[in-house]
Chains A and B, each alone.
Chain A
């Protein structure tokens, strides 16, 4: 059986002081002790609050974006000899109860990466317009990289050490999710999609990716696709 002390939860956080205690309590109460919070240059008291918990805190001196925060978290977890890294949002959208299902295929050597998918079990209360944008994004990913994932921009993922060493995240922003899909395709990494619940609250909708941001992500993806 896999040792739980080799499982690390990576939480990129930017100005999440109000909700991060709930997220950390949920994880700690579910028995997860290796938690890395990457404070991405927050201007509120996120770091101060995180320091009250028994977790590793890494603080970016300036705001770099979720992609850079995830990369920092993964590199730090690898230094700590992590075997599985789970990326987990700080805005309360993800639930600790989904983690066992997410890591199970990696433990059983069925996959090197598992991607959380909010559309498989339809348990998530996804706003209609967001659903349309996510589906269009997924279709675009299929056209560009040939991977048909209906939820390519879900932040809940489990990454094995072997996959983490292969994946090279270069994007600093939200487009890192697309970049991971691209890396999975290019480096032929074994992946499985796992049903997860994404909890939409007024707070998470306000904090999460904006609809207009999707156009920015698409333009950056295209630039990267064309120019490399």
Chain B
């Protein structure tokens, strides 16, 4: 048996265990589940039908299954990166708006407080004069 298939089997077992743990802890999101199921299906296909990877690689114009695997991995990483970048940007924008609101509200509150203090002081001065 080729080493890649042994690695695939170990990886499939690890993923299945991970899924079961997450289901047990009720931490699994549907999208995540779909993603891991697709990975498992792909690995099973490669393991059961060794020619599948080679034929698929040739279909997409790659010389070997390994080249195809590397290119596919880069693509997946790039998609993850894009997703993370978007999420960070959204969070950063929300955080900025939050800081801005806190800063403006604090400034308005302190100016209202100052005005009240000035009004109170002038009131007291008027009372003293009377």
Query: Footprint of B on A, CB under 8 Å?
Result: 38, 56-62, 64, 68, 71-72, 75-76, 79, 170, 172, 223, 227
Contact = CB atoms under 8 A, between A and B. Distances in A.
Contacts of B93: 170
A97 to B, nearest CB: 28
Interface stretch (B7-15, B23-31, B96-104): B96-104
A72 B102 CA distance: 10
Contacts, number: 44
B103 A58 contact: yes
Q: Interface size bucket, B side?
A: 10 to 19
B86 A75 contact: no
Interface string B82-99: 100110010011001001
B119 interface: no
Contacts of A38: 103
6 contacts: A59-B103, A59-B107, A68-B99, A72-B104, A75-B100, A76-B104
B86 A227 contact: yes
Contact of A76 (B86, B102, B107): B107
B103 A60 contact: yes
Contacts of A68: 96, 99-100
- B contacts with A: majority SS: helix
Nearest to A56: B107
Contacts of B96: 64, 68, 71, 172
B122 interface: no
A38 B99 CA distance: 12
Contacts of B124: none
Contact of B104 (A58, A62, A170, A172): A58
A64 B99 CA distance: 8
A62 B111 CA distance: 21
Interface of B: 82, 85-86, 89, 92-93, 96, 99-100, 102-104, 106-108, 111
Nearest to B100: A72
A223 B85 contact: yes
A72 B89 CA distance: 18
B100 A71 contact: yes
Contacts of B89: 170, 227
Closest 5 CB pairs of A and B: A58-B107, A72-B100, A58-B103, A68-B96, A60-B103
A60 B105 CA distance: 11
Nearest to A65: B96
A172 B82 CA distance: 20
Contacts of B92: 172
B107 A227 contact: no
B102 A61 contact: yes
A79 B104 CA distance: 10
Contacts of A72: 99-100, 103-104
Given A58-B107, A59-B106, A170-B93, A227 B100 contact: no
Given A61-B103, A223-B85, 20 more contacts: A56-B107, A56-B111, A57-B107, A58-B106, A58-B107, A60-B99, A60-B100, A61-B102, A68-B96, A71-B100, A72-B99, A72-B100, A72-B103, A72-B104, A75-B104, A76-B104, A79-B104, A170-B89, A170-B93, A227-B89
B125 to A, nearest CB: 21
